[in-house]
Chain A
Amino acid sequence: QSALTQPASVSGSPGQSITISCTGTSSGVGNYNLVSWYQQHPGKAPKLIIYEVTKRPSGVSNRFSGSKSGNTASLTISGLQAEDEADYYCTSYVPPNTLIFGGGTRLAVL
């Protein structure tokens, strides 16, 4: 299966909101609410920030939110902070029994 499609980079200023898109297929993103988002700082392991499209793990800031429309999922970060500068990856379940990652998006906080 091909990777999910994400923009290579996005940027925003402190306090602003940004949205990162993640486009898949009707058999994956479009048919299952099993999209997750991960934040990865340089040299660190990824961290789960959104799962099952809209759910936030305990301890994750409510500035992070997820949504989905058709074959495209989105991650929105509101009130951008310098610490949000990182790489962001989406994943989706694709049958049968496969997990695929997006190519990743680098967020720059200007």
Chain B
Amino acid sequence: SQQGEEDPQALSIQEGENATMNCSYKTSINNLQWYRQNSGRGLVHLILIRSNEREKHSGRLRVTLDTSKKSSSLLITASRAADTASYFCATDSMEYGNKLVFGAGTILRVKS
């Protein structure tokens, strides 16, 4: 059973455009994390947002969290071809034993 589900499954945009990916989850959480995976590589941590936080920024990344709707979004501004990757949200919650549970991911393609 998937705790987190990303939307859309795939996204294709032009370089310079913004990319928005959404994540919905089912239970109350301690934190939500976003990871990036380049093709054939391991996952790299991007941002962690705690349950009592609503927004967080890191460079061109902006993450929001709405615990009332059990959802989060990842915004990448001014996208670059190098942003082409899969993006995953992962939740940490007591209901899942305080272990990271990943969604199926969003495949982002940035065309130059």
Real complex partners, A and B?
no
List chain A positions with a Cβ less than 8 A from chain B.
none
Residue numbers of B with Cβ under 8 A of A are: none
